[in-house]
Structure 1
Amino acid sequence: MGKRTYSTSDLSRKSGNIIADALRSPVTITQRNKPRLVILNIEDYQRLKAKADPRKAGTLGTMPEDLLLEIEHAVETFAKDDRADG
């Protein structure tokens, strides 16, 4: 069964059909002929969430204080060891 596509205006007129289709396979909702949303069953959603990469990008400013201190200590230790070797 192929992926079904509905427009945003279909949401109010065909919500029952959209839900029934989404229980079987993901449904794309378009707005002005551009894909905008995907509706999928909870099992598919949970499977995607479980596969998601938990890593986050951040900056030194957003890093937790204890982690920043740990990194600073590691850098200082590395630099001290490097000076001792050289």
Structure 2
Amino acid sequence: MTTSFLSSRDFNRDPARAKRAAKNGPVFVTERSKPSLVVLSIEDYEKLAGQNRSLADVLTAPEDLDFEFDAARAMPGFKAADLD
């Protein structure tokens, strides 16, 4: 995965360039040398955002499925037990 950078001027002139680059990783669009937005492929976005799967979908998925469960995000107010 490679990270690319485009100035906002270059992004406005040639948005297809950002779309092509996003196939290989995130594309940071900068304004005055500071990142202002990121262009991602839909696959990368879905990895970050999650895919809103039901519990049944997860439990019936192939065994090689790898995911992380964040209880605090899934259940507001959840507090993990301190076992130390």
Among all aligned residue pairs of Structure 1 and Structure 2, give the percentage whose two residues are the same amino acid.
33
Moved over 4 A (4+): 54-57
Number of equivalences: 57
Q: Show the counterpart of 2:26.
A: 26
Q: Show the counterpart of 1:9.
A: 9
SS in 1 for 2:44: helix
Quote the Cα distance in structure 2 between the aligned partners of 1:55 and 1:36: 31
Which structure has the greater CA radius of gyration? 1
Cα 1:9–1:56 shift into 2, 3 Å: farther
Quote the Cα distance in structure 2 between the aligned partners of 1:4 and 1:49: 21
Cα 1:55–1:7 shift into 2, 3 Å: farther
Q: TM-score, with normalisation over the residues of structure 2?
A: 0.56
Quote the Cα distance in structure 2 between the aligned partners of 1:56 and 1:9: 41
Give the C-alpha shift of residue 17 in structure 1.
1.2
Q: TM-score, with normalisation over the residues of structure 1?
A: 0.55
Structure 2 gap ranges (5+): 51-67, 78-84
Larger fraction in helix = 1
Quote the Cα distance in structure 1 between the aligned partners of 2:11 and 2:76: 34
Deviations 1:20-65 (A, max 9, x none): 00122110000111011110000110110116734658xxxxxxxx
